[in-house]
Amino acid sequence: MKLITAALLSTLCLLLSSNSVAMDDASCTQLKNQKITDTEITAAESVMGDFFSPSDQSGAPKEIFKGLPAFCRIVGVIRPRAESEIGFEIWLPEQWNKRYLQVGNGGFAGAINYGGLVPGLRNGFAVASTDDGHKGDGAAWALGHSESLVDYGYRAVHLTSSVAKEIISTYYRQSLSYAYFSGCSDGGRESLMEAQRYPEDFNGWVVGAPANDFTGLMAYFLNLSQIEAALQEPLTTSQLEALTKAALARCDRTDGVADGVIDAPLRCPFDAAELQCRGAQDGRCLSKSQVDAVRRIYDDSRDPRTHASLTPGFRTALGDEVSQWPLWVGSMGKDGNRTSSLSQMFSEAFWPFMVYGDPKLDFRRLDLLQAASDARSRVGMILNSVDPDLSVVRASRKKIIQYHGWADGVIPAQYSIGYYQAVEKYLRRDNRDFYRLFMAPGMEHCGGGPGPNSFSTPFDPHPFGAGYDSLSEFDPERNVLAALVRWVEKGQAPEKIVATKYRDDDGEHVVRTRPLCPYPSIARWTGKGSTDDARNFVCSTARRSHDQDDLGQRR
């Protein structure tokens, strides 16, 4: 027994020593003098405890991160071209697990993703983020600056990876064992861009709700914003509540479970005409013009000549209109004032500054079909990461885990499923030996929504405060990055990822858990036990023909 105990202790010590490297003899501040091609290190400082993020040009308030483990903070700039100014930060933990994690950005970037750095740091990763080559939000920076557009499209992420690895090897005096990238939204686009253009940079990628068909997504926003601008009667909060209630009444129970979530929104037969006013307006029914507008918003936009789908519709937000419609379509506020949507904001930024080079351009006057074609031909090669050739990733035995919320009205789920299917078609075989897609019913963009949405996504409601237990939270059954690490390093593919729904998304009071299954499988209740417990569900194969009728990558 003593020999067995000694052996177990010896093995445990070996595992701990191989996965934890403490730098007691290396000086963090000396890294400021490190010479790297086209790179200037502007700051190198030791940090422990609380960290206050610096102010940025967007006017965003400083973020406060409490109780962080000790780390070396490196701040720098990469200038590969005369007009390039790629900002980055690298955080090197005192207790290092020999892994590197780079986190993606969102929207038009323009800032370091500090919130994305913290979870990785707490779990022992050396972590890094880039501002993608510019400061502040919006896209005015792209006007007349083609190299800055390239930095944003793909160069900033790639060069940050190269610089970070060089600094890591210098600081720890050894090479890292594994490198990972994790991002959602534009960060998901960046993740797929890396897998397609620079598969040698990382061993694995977490891809969340990717804006990988970037020009197609901007056409989607343009369609929504043009419908919104032309609508004379914006929907009120009461009308949105009626839409949500009617859609749930029609389709919530189609999966056999009444949980306030529409599991398959693209197959929901709800028609807004059900709410058309039959007599006097009661504040909840819709006028004929509103019904027509809602139909146009829910449905795909189509090429008027061929009737082929041009952009997906907003139908994935069925049953979640109160939450998403005001943000992405616009509505009439309770104060009687019309709200402006984020779709309009993206349209006002992308088309004048990135495509047409005309700050005075009015997006309302653009022809959708022509604009989509112009964007694809002018900037698609820089911004879109839609190449289905992932043969190098597969041959190198690297792994991709992608996830997308079925209730995502920002980047409709069709984009993820369409790309996933395009890869299968190109490679002529099942993807699941190296690439798995997990669809999350009732989850909005990168998190949130009425369904189980917590599995360590960027908007995960679980707090990362001083009491955060890194070891218990880095669970490959419930944490998407941990699942990727186990797949890459141990060869154990994720058969499910358990997502949690908290009450009011407070990160404390569990409402239900539900398994997310590798596409095309879906979670089915066994008919026994609570429908709020993931243990009472099994992953079963979905009928893909329904998806193929409605889904496809828009290009």
Do 307 and 367 lie in one domain? The reply is yes
User: Does residue 340 share a domain with residue 231?
Assistant: yes
CA 345 and chain centroid, separation: 19
My answer on whether 223 and 158 are in the same domain is no
**Tens digit of each residue's pLDDT, the chain (555 residues):** 443 434 433 333 333 334 445 554 458 999 999 999 999 999 999 999 999 888 765 555 678 898 999 999 999 999 999 999 999 999 999 999 999 999 999 999 999 999 999 999 999 999 999 999 999 889 999 999 999 999 999 999 999 999 999 999 999 999 999 999 999 999 999 999 999 999 999 999 999 999 999 999 999 999 999 999 998 889 999 999 999 999 999 999 988 899 999 999 999 999 999 999 998 888 899 999 999 999 999 999 999 899 999 999 999 999 999 999 999 998 876 666 777 899 999 999 999 999 999 999 999 999 999 999 999 999 999 999 999 999 999 999 999 999 999 999 999 999 999 999 999 999 999 999 999 999 999 999 999 999 999 999 888 876 443 334 554 578 999 999 999 999 999 999 999 999 999 999 988 899 999 999 999 999 999 999 999 999 999 999 854 444 444 444 333
| Contacts for 474-482: CB closer than 8 Å, 24+ residues apart | 474/123, 479/455, 480/206, 480/208, 480/401, 480/403, 480/438, 480/455, 480/456, 481/101, 481/119, 481/120, 481/180, 481/182, 481/206, 481/456, 482/456
Domain stops at, among 349, 380, 411? 380
Structural domain includes residue 407: yes
509 is catalytic: no
Q: Of 185, 301, 347, 385, which one is the catalytic site residue? A: 185
| CB-based contacts of 370, cutoff 8 Å, min separation 6 | none
Residues 53 and 136 in one domain: yes
CB 410 within 8 A of CB 374: no
Secondary structure class of 426 (helix, strand, coil):
helix
- Report how far Cα 284 is from the mean position of its chain's Cα atoms: 34
- Burial of residue 167 (CB within 10 Å: 0-12, 13-18, 19+) is buried
Same domain for 539 and 485? Answer: yes
Q: 24 catalytic, yes or no? A: no
What's the confidence (pLDDT) of residue 7?
40
On whether residue 391 sits in a domain, the answer given is yes
Q: Which of 408, 460, 547, 550 is catalytic?
A: 408
Peptide bond into 520 cis (omega under 30): yes
Q: Is residue 403 part of a domain?
A: yes
Provide the token pair at 60.
Answer: 């965003």
Region of residue 144 (left: phi > 0; alpha: psi -120 to 50; beta: else): left
Would you state the pLDDT for residue 56? 60
Residue pointed to by tokens 């239900």: 512
β-pair partners for 68: 49
Give the Cβ contact number of residue 12 at 10 Å: 10
Q: Are residues 187 and 270 in the same domain?
A: no
Among left, alpha and beta (phi > 0; psi -120 to 50; other), residue 256 is left
- Which residue's structure tokens are 């206050």? 52
Contacts of 190 (CB under 8 A, 6+ apart): 104, 105, 154, 157, 181, 183, 385
Same domain, 433 and 511: yes
Phi/psi-derived region of residue 286, left when phi > 0, alpha when psi is between -120 and 50, beta in every other case: beta
CA angle centred on 372, ends 371 and 378, rounded to 5°: 85
Domain for residue 118, yes or no?
Answer: no
List of residues 6+ apart from 449 with CB closer than 8 A: 320, 323, 405, 407, 442, 443
Is 256 domain-assigned?
no
Residues 88 and 105: beta-carbon distance below 8 Å: no
Q: How far is CA 460 from CA 163, 226, 502, in A?
A: 29, 32, 10
Instruction: Kindly list the distances between the CA atom of residue 34 and the CA atoms of 24, 37, 195, 299, 546, in Å, as whole numbers in the listed order.
Output: 19, 10, 29, 55, 56
Residue 444 and residue 554 in one domain: yes
Looking at residue 236, the DSSP 8-state letter turns out to be B
- Token reading at 239: 């009308």
Residue 212 tokens, joined: 């990988």
Residue 151 carries which DSSP code? I
- In sequence order, which residues have a C-beta less than 8 Å from that of residue 17 and are 6 or more positions away? none
Q: Is 258 within a domain? A: no
Q: Does 460 share its domain with 485? A: yes
Based on the domain organization, do 70 and 25 belong to the same domain? Answer: yes
CA distance 451 to 500: 8
pLDDT at 528: 95
Examine the domain organization and report whether 16 and 41 are in the same domain: yes
Tokens 């979905």 map to which residue? Answer: 542
Three-state secondary structure call for residue 463:
coil
The Cα 464–Cα 66 span in angstroms is: 9
CA distance 286 to 241: 12
Specify the 3-state DSSP secondary structure of 36. strand
Q: Please, are residues 303 and 310 in contact by the beta-carbon 8 Å criterion?
A: yes
462 assigned to active site: no
507 exposure class (CB count in 10 Å sphere: 0-12, 13-18, 19+): middle
For residue 385, give the H/E element and its range: none
Same domain assignment for residues 166 and 201? no
The span from the CA of 132 to the CA of 135, in Å, is: 9
Does 87 map to a domain? yes
Q: Let me know: does 214 contact 108? Beta carbons within 8 Å.
A: no
3-class secondary-structure state, position 101 = strand
Candidates 445, 521, 547, 550; catalytic one: 445
Residue at which a domain ends, from 363, 380, 397: 380
Give the residue numbers spanning the domain of 151. 1-92+123-176
The answer to whether residue 197 is domain-embedded is: yes
The DSSP symbol for 38 reads T
**CA-to-CA distance for 467 and 54, rounded, in angstroms?**
24
pLDDT at 460: 81
Structure tokens at 59: 């006017």
Count up the domains in the chain and report the number: 3
What's the CA gap between 345 and 287, in Å, rounded?
A: 27
Q: Which of 202, 143, 537 is nearest to 359 (CA)?
A: 143
